Structure 1
Amino acid sequence: MGVGIIIRDHNGNFLSACRQLLDEVTSPEIAEALAIRHAVTLTRDEDLDRIILVSDCLSVIQRIGSPHRDRSLVGVIMEDVKTLATSLSSVSCRHVNRFCNNSAHSLARRAEPSGSSFYRFVIPEFIRDKLCIDVF
C-alpha cells in the first residue's frame, strides 16, 4: 500500500509532497494512520509548527481527537501522532471527502518500491491537475 502527503501553506499553495510504499500493510486504516504520522514528522522536519491534518478517513481523524486510550494497532500509531504533535504549536484535524483528497491518493498510487520520493516547491506533473481541483 502507498501513502501520499501534500503540504500546503495557509493560502493553499503547494509547498511539498511525499510518496512512500508501505510494505506488508494491507489495512487502509493503518496506512492512513501511518501517513498521518509521517505527515506530522515531515512538517516538523520542515520547521512548520502550525498544521491542519486533512484526511478522508473519518475513523482516524476521530481517533486523533479522542481522549480515550485505544489499544488497537491504529490506536498505538495515533498515540505516537499525539506525542509527535506536542512539539508543534498548533495541530488541528479535518475530515474531508475523498474527492477533496485526490492528489494525495494519486501520490499514494504511484508509490514505488525503490523508496520514498520527496518534492519541495516543484509539483509532480502527475498530480498537477488534481492538485488544482482539491478543495478544502
Structure 2
Amino acid sequence: MFGSSASLGVGVIARNHEGICLAWRLRRFDDSVDPALAECLAATEAISLAIREDWQEVILEGDCRIVINRLSSCAADNSYIGGNCGGCSLLDESCS
C-alpha cells in the first residue's frame, strides 16, 4: 500500500477553548525520522499554523518529553532536537 519509500506525515489540529476545530494542517516529509524528531516537526507545523492565523496565545500539547522540555526552555540546545525545534523558543517573548 505505501511502497518502500521512507516518509513521515505529521498532523496538527487547532481547537478553541470549547474544543471546536478552528484549523488543521497535514504535511508529508520525504524522510524517515525517529519519533522525537517527528514530534518536533509537528510542533513546528503547529507554530507555523498559529503564526499564519495570527493567534496571540497558543497551547501546544505533545507526548514526547524531550520535545516538550526543549520547547519550554530558553536555554541553548545543540542536540539534533534543539537544531530542529530551537527556532520555536525564539517565538516566546520570555526568551528574548
User: For the superposition of Structure 1 and Structure 2, which TM-score range results when normalised by the shorter chain?
Assistant: 0.7 to 0.9
Root-mean-square deviation over aligned CA pairs = 1.4
Aligned-pair identity (%)? 35
TM-score where L is the length of structure 2: 0.80
Provide runs of 4+ in structure 1 moved above 3 Å: none
How many residues are matched? 86
Distance (whole Å) between structure 1 residues aligned to residue 92 and residue 41 of structure 2: 14
Pick the structure with more strand per residue: 1
Write the mapping of 1:12-27 to structure 2, written as runs, cut at 5 A.
12-27=19-34
Distance (whole Å) between structure 1 residues aligned to residue 16 and residue 65 of structure 2: 23
CA drift at 1:36: 0.5
Higher relative contact order structure (alpha carbons within 8 Å, sequence separation ≥ 6): 1
Cα gap change, 1:67 to 1:82, in 2 (>3 Å): closer
**Uncovered stretches (5+) of structure 1, i.e. residues with no partner:** 87-136
Partner of 1:2 in structure 2? 9
Cα deviations by residue, 1:10-37 (Å, 9 ceiling, x for unpaired):
2211111111111113211111111101
